[in-house]
Structure 1
């Protein structure tokens, strides 16, 4: 039997004709695909719309004053920084090629740290420079000018900035509900072109501005570079004369002196522009150093001859400070030679340099006052030596000095006056430097005023009375009288044990004379402290330093630029 044939199949529905290879796609699908890929020149992708909206919002938060972006305040700086970050993000999202920035390779290491690669890296300070357009800047007291080309590029950047701002303002208005009539959202092409123009203007200005800034900074560092060069020359001369005193060598002495003078002059100039912690003096000369070296040699000779070290202790300490502060600066220049690029062109911002300049100025200022004036130095040495003797007589005085007790600074002017009254000719120049109105200067002699001379006469009368009261050998009696007055000055008015050894008939007279002298002494002590506080503070500080510092000054800490 034959099998029945299958039922006929239904005809399949007609299939859409396939496009021939190379045939154009429908316009709608092509546009959608380009939008998804972000390659449509007219249509924003969803991500682009979001990033541009965020950029426009960041622009609205900028602090504008007088039509210019304010970056000086913390709020203004932060708002500008966020806007620049959004600007970079928008350029990346829209796949815009950055302007070439190969010029950054030639930047110094400091600026390569700020601009480490070829990325846009928009910085607030660069924008700020283009806004302010300062053609002149002052660094370390010197005037530097930017070129006209740098100013032209700054203006071009500001024009691009303004054009982008106008587009973003239109964008913000188009997003708001109250869009003004006739205002349309900027097209993608407009925004792309504006972002590209801004980036090229930015790179152009950044290149010129930073390059000229680097040149200005190199010129601003020239004082340090010159000091390094002079220090290097001195070091070579010293190395060539190993084991010899270069200052005393006739062959190298003149050249060494000249180079030494140049280095000191360079340091003085550095001090005037960088040392804002003190006076910034530029009048300290090499003679201070030479006299300090000569003083140290005299101190060595005196000690070798067996003279008391206490008599020259103050002179040695002051001279050592002059030499060591200079050596510390030379050591700084040796260290900084390895890292000159780290030196801030505003020299006052270099903490290590300023610290050593402060020490140098203070030491050399004291050296100018005392080391270069032999009578003052001799007077100071005598006062320090006598105070040391007084400390042995009164151990409490030594403790007061070591503790820098307030009581010590009441005793110190009395001690200085006592020493002057005992030897007015030796100490007249020292007292005259603090109380010039109490002396008449004739050539190199100091004559006390009538009132001061009366005080001297009263002291001598009191001291003579005490010496006669104690009796015995005149020299020993005078020394006992001096020690009695010293004890009285240290202990104060409440204790008169020093006079208890006197015989009864003379005790009352001596006591009255001493008390009257102490009363006058207090008035003169106050005048010594208050007439010229700066000079007195310097003098008292040196005395305290000589009394409390036994060895060389402490070494500076780790190197700082």
Structure 2
């Protein structure tokens, strides 16, 4: 409640009501003023806080908050910078009001890394410490690995979030802040010591895991059995990344990719996309190995970057994606045949089509999306309609399209004219939209990408590689 309301409202209520301006024959107007006053005073309440704490209000408004006064995750660096300035202003306000500093001698037990963040026993309000409590009191992220809170951590996180909301509300209403700032300081200290000690413990555990994996990567050349141990460590780390990482990756995909790279020389038109895929599997593994080995000096020093290491998370994700593609296409002979047949059909169409010969050379195309949108998407979708094998592709990528009148019309055109007929129709239209089946195919391609964009694009890239590249001259798969 607004403290000013008790001083103003009775005075106004005691004054006699003004004479009605209406003619005597009309009834007197009802006394509506008292019903309006509370709403008017409620709207004016924030102005009291703005007048009493103008600087704090300005800093608060510079941040982006949720309804319960948590910093929005999408605020970005500007949001954290504004919160830094707000916390510094709150420290200054607490010192000005004479709020006692809670005992923080527990910082003597911090590791050197955290001692640089908290150099003395002062308040040292840190944005990261506050945002950790804002996450809802559920988990700690270290190296992208999510660890659940213990009961005491969750309890103190909730307490700090509650005290923070009370402080923001007090500033908003223009109330005295000394008690709210004292509660914040005591609760902050209780949360900080538990959170930082938990971070130190978890980082030591991560240090041991990463060191085992890195040393295993170093021994790979001399000890073949080390692959098993390294894969176990990679699975252990990757399995906990945001709770969704694959933790049961096996070595058979890596062995199959190695075998294909060693035996397919020179590659034929049939196995070129498979060689491309095998190369991506080996490249993902090698990149992960090089990163782990380069990480050893940082592991020994327990660099603070280990607590927020997007490089490690990125390489683990790239390796998992390459492993999944390899398991899908390299380990299944049916999938290998499907990939080769689609690639061969597109290659033959390219040889007979001046339009596609202009559109498809990769080195001359600046926008990969243009190639997929104008050519490859339509050809592959119509190609997928031909025969029982093709329906498996449609069912996988766009099951909702099967059985519709538009798709049946496109299927009939593809079965009657084949891929070459599709290409000739595109040539007659000069590469522009065709009135009936081409626009239908484009709609289905959009549905396909919306349903499973990542795997669809991977498949397009593999087929396009086989159709347009001489693999021996392809320097890197990244350029695809």
- The interval holding the TM-score normalised by the smaller chain is 0.5 to 0.7
Per-residue CA deviation, residues 128-175 of structure 1 (Å, 9 max, x unaligned), is 79xx99995522251234379989x99xx99xx9xxxxxxx99x9xxx
Residue of structure 1 equivalent to 2:271: 312
Corresponding residue pairs, total: 375
Q: Give TM-score, length-normalised by structure 2.
A: 0.57
| Mapped pair 1:269 → 2:240 | yes
Match of 1:551 among 457, 475, 479: 475
Residue of structure 2 equivalent to 1:110: 113
1 CA distance for matches of 2:396 and 2:136? 49
Distance apart, 1:294 and its partner CA: 0.5
Q: Is the 8 A contact 1:61 1:79 kept in 2?
A: no
Q: Give TM-score, length-normalised by structure 1.
A: 0.50
Residue of structure 1 equivalent to 2:18: none
User: Which has the higher relative contact order, 1 or 2, with Cα contacts under 8 A spaced 6 or more apart?
Assistant: 2
Residue of structure 2 equivalent to 1:409: 373
- What pairs up with 1:213-224 in 2 under 5 angstroms? 213-221=195-203, 224=206
1 CA distance for matches of 2:272 and 2:237? 31
Q: Is the 8 A contact 2:216 2:230 kept in 1?
A: yes
Question: Secondary structure, in 3 states, of the residue corresponding to 1:264?
Answer: helix
Distance apart, 1:492 and its partner CA: 3.9
Question: Secondary structure, in 3 states, of the residue corresponding to 1:286?
Answer: coil
Residue of structure 1 equivalent to 2:43: none
1 CA distance for matches of 2:456 and 2:154? 55
Distance apart, 1:488 and its partner CA: 0.4
Provide structure 2 residue ranges, at least 5 long, that are not aligned to the other structure. Answer: 1-50, 61-68, 73-78, 141-145, 168-174
Residues 141/90 of structure 1: CA separation in 2 closer, same or farther (3 Å cut): closer
| Mapped pair 1:355 → 2:314 | yes
Residue of structure 2 equivalent to 1:491: 427
Q: Cα RMSD (Å) of the superposition?
A: 5.6
- What pairs up with 1:454-465 in 2 under 5 angstroms? none
Residues 384/230 of structure 1: CA separation in 2 closer, same or farther (3 Å cut): farther
Q: Is the 8 A contact 2:257 2:281 kept in 1?
A: no
Q: Of the two, which has the highest radius of gyration?
A: 1
Match of 2:262 among 300, 314, 339: 300
Per-residue CA deviation, residues 300-337 of structure 1 (Å, 9 max, x unaligned), is 3232xx552x3222112223223322333333333344
- What pairs up with 1:317-336 in 2 under 5 angstroms? 317-336=276-295
Match of 2:150 among 110, 135, 144: 144
1 CA distance for matches of 2:154 and 2:267? 71
- What pairs up with 1:324-403 in 2 under 5 angstroms? 324-337=283-296, 338-339=298-299, 340-343=302-305, 345=307, 350-394=309-353, 396-401=355-360, 402=362, 403=365
Residue of structure 1 equivalent to 2:253: 291
Match of 2:397 among 434, 443, 459: 434
Per-residue CA deviation, residues 387-443 of structure 1 (Å, 9 max, x unaligned), is 334334335424434323636524324422565567x3664543442255789xxxx
Q: Is the 8 A contact 1:434 1:536 kept in 2?
A: no
2 CA distance for matches of 1:392 and 1:263? 45
2 CA distance for matches of 1:134 and 1:416? 45
